[in-house]
C-alpha cells in the first residue's frame, strides 16, 4: 500500500521539527542561565545574613546577652526540569489540514542549606586569644587605615590607653582614650602621605611589628609628634612594636592587643540603646569621675554608629530586629560601614579556620 504525503502533512512535520528543536535548544541553555542567576542570589543572601548575624551579636554584647554564631557550611541546590509537548492534526483528502501544537517547560529548584555552629575549645581559644601581630600587618597591607586598625585591635601602646576596659562588658567608669587616638592620627597622616610601612617580623620566635618611616620623612612634624606621644626617641626610621620590649630601648613600643571578643565588646559601645532600655537598667551606664553619664560616641562615634528606632527604617544597608527595636547602620555612613567591614575581616581571619565536630543542621528549603 502506497502512502501519500499531502502538503499539509509536510507542513505539520516541519512545524513539529521546528518546535522540538526550539524546545531542546531552550533546555540546553537552562544550565548556564540558571547558574548565572542563582549563584549571585545565594552569594548576596549569605553575605547579607553574615553581616546581620555579626550586627546582631554586637547588639547582644551591648545588652550583656550571649553571642552565638552559625556558619553556612554548604549550599546544595537541585534543579528538576520537566517538559511536555503535544500535537494534533485533522487530515482529509482535498481538505486543508487542521493541526495544532502545544507544550510546556518547567524548572523546580530544591535548595538544601547546611549550618554549623561555631563553638568548641578551638573556637573559644581563637575568640579569647590576643589578635596575632601577623594579622594586623596583613590588614595594613590590605589597604586599611592604620588608625582604624590600631583603634580596633590595640588597647595600649606604652603608657597610652585605648579604653582597655571596653574590651569586656560596658565598664562603669569612663575610659582613657584621647591620647591614644591623637597618636594614631599622626600615623594615619603619615600613611596618607605614603611615608610609613608596617611589617611583621619574628626575633628569636618573638613576634614583632616593625614600623618603618621613610628616611626623607623621619623628621616630619607628624613623625615627631607620634614619637613624643608614645615616649620614644624622635627622628628614627624604625620602631619596634612588641609585647615584651627590651628595657631602656628608645625605639621599642610595648603593645597590648585585644582579642576578637574584646574588639567586638569595644565596638558594641557604638550601639545606641533606646532611652527606655537605659532607664530600665538593661544596659550599663558609664559615668565620669564627676558622676556624669559618659557618652560613648566620644570613643567610637567616628568609627561606628549602630542606630536604633522603634519602627523599621527604610533603605538601610544592614538592619536587625532585637528586643522589640530595630538596630541598623545607615547606608550613607561610610565610616561605619568601613569599620564594620574591617571587623568582618578580622572575624573571618580568626574564626575561619575553625572546624568543629558539632552536629550540623541541614534544612531543605524548597519543595
pLDDT tens digits, residue range 237-251?
999 999 988 888 899
For residue 149, is it within any domain? Answer: yes
Give the total number of structural domains in the chain.
1
pLDDT at 140 (0 to 100): 97
**Structural domain span for residue 172:** 133-258
- Rounded CA separation 5/7 (Å): 7
For residue 215, is it within any domain? Answer: yes
DSSP string, 51-96: HHHHHHHHHHHHTTPPP--EEEEEEEEEEEEEEEEEEEEEEETTEE
Output the CA angle 169-173-178, nearest 5 degrees: 100
Placement of cell 572575624 in the chain: 347
For residue 66, is it within any domain? Answer: no
- Rounded CA separation 352/71 (Å): 10
For residue 310, is it within any domain? Answer: no
* CA 64 to centroid of chain Cα atoms: 22
The pLDDT-based confidence of 5 (bands split at 50, 70, 90) is very low
Whether the predicted pLDDT of 96 surpasses 70: no
Of 261 and 126, the one with more pLDDT = 261
Mean pLDDT on 275-284: 93
For residue 314, is it within any domain? Answer: no
Whether the predicted pLDDT of 161 surpasses 60: yes
Dihedral of the alpha carbons of 347, 349, 351, 354, in degrees to the nearest 10: 170
For residue 253, is it within any domain? Answer: yes
Dihedral of the alpha carbons of 49, 50, 53, 57, in degrees to the nearest 10: -160
For residue 89, is it within any domain? Answer: no
Placement of cell 597618636 in the chain: 183
For residue 223, is it within any domain? Answer: yes
**Exposure of 169 by Cβ count < 10 A (0-12 exposed, 13-18 middle, 19+ buried)?**
middle
When mean pLDDT is compared across 18-22, 42-46, 295-299, 328-332, the lowest value belongs to: 18-22
Mean pLDDT on 26-35: 54
In this structure, what C-alpha cell is assigned to residue 178? 584621647
Whether the predicted pLDDT of 275 surpasses 60: yes
- Rounded CA separation 266/288 (Å): 18
Residues in the chain: 367
Per-residue pLDDT tens over the stretch 172-210: 999 999 999 999 999 999 999 999 999 999 988 889 999
Q: With contact defined as beta carbons under 8 Å apart, do 328 and 314 qualify? A: no
Residue 297 dihedral angles phi and psi, to the nearest 5°: -65, -25
Q: What is the largest CA-CA distance in the chain?
A: 114
* CA 171 to centroid of chain Cα atoms: 26
- Rounded CA separation 50/106 (Å): 32
Report in angstroms the alpha-carbon separations of 121 from 113, 116, 129, 354, 355. 25, 15, 12, 10, 11
pTM for this prediction: 0.79
Amino acid at each position: 500500500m502506497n502512502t501519500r504525503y499531502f502538503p499539509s502533512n509536510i507542513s505539520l512535520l516541519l512545524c513539529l521539527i521546528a518546535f522540538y528543536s526550539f524546545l531542546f535548544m531552550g533546555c540546553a541553555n537552562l544550565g548556564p542561565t540558571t547558574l548565572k542567576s542563582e549563584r549571585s542570589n545565594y552569594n548576596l543572601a549569605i553575605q547579607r545574613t553574615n553581616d546581620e548575624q555579626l550586627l546582631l551579636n554586637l547588639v547582644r554584647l551591648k545588652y550583656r546577652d550571649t553571642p552565638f554564631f552559625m556558619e553556612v557550611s554548604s549550599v546544595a541546590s537541585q534543579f528538576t526540569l520537566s517538559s511536555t509537548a503535544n500535537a494534533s492534526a485533522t487530515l482529509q483528502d482535498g481538505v486543508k489540514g487542521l493541526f495544532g501544537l502545544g507544550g510546556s517547560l518547567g524548572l523546580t529548584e530544591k535548595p538544601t542549606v547546611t549550618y554549623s555552629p561555631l563553638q568548641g575549645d578551638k573556637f573559644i581559644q581563637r575568640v579569647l586569644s590576643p589578635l596575632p601581630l601577623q594579622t594586623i600587618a596583613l590588614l595594613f597591607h590590605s589597604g586599611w587605615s592604620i588608625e582604624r586598625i590600631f583603634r580596633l585591635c590595640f588597647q595600649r601602646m606604652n603608657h597610652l590607653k585605648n579604653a582597655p576596659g571596653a574590651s569586656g562588658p560596658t565598664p562603669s567608669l569612663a575610659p582613657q582614650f584621647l591620647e591614644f587616638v591623637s597618636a594614631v592620627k599622626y600615623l594615619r597622616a603619615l600613611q596618607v602621605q605614603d611615608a610609613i610601612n608596617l611589617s611583621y617580623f619574628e626575633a628569636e620566635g618573638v613576634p614583632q611589628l616593625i614600623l618603618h618611616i621613610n628616611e626623607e620623612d623621619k623628621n616630619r612634624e607628624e613623625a615627631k609628634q607620634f614619637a613624643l606621644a608614645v615616649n620614644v626617641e624622635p627622628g628614627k626610621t624604625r620602631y619596634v612594636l612588641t609585647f615584651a620590649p627590651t628595657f631602656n630601648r628608645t625605639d621599642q613600643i610595648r603593645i597590648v592587643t585585644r582579642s576578637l571578643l574584646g574588639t567586638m565588646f569595644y565596638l558594641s559601645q557604638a550601639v545606641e540603646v533606646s532611652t527606655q532600655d537605659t532607664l530600665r537598667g538593661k544596659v550599663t551606664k558609664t559615668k565620669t569621675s564627676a558622676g556624669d553619664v559618659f557618652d560613648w560616641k566620644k570613643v567610637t562615634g567616628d568609627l561606628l554608629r549602630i542606630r536604633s528606632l522603634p519602627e523599621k527604617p527604610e533603605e538601610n544597608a544592614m538592619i536587625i530586629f532585637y528586643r522589640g527595636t530595630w538596630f541598623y547602620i545607615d547606608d550613607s555612613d561610610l565610616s561605619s560601614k568601613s569599620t564594620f567591614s574591617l571587623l568582618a575581616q578580622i572575624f573571618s581571619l580568626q574564626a575561619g579556620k575553625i572546624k568543629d565536630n558539632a552536629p550540623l543542621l541541614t534544612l531543605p528549603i524548597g519543595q
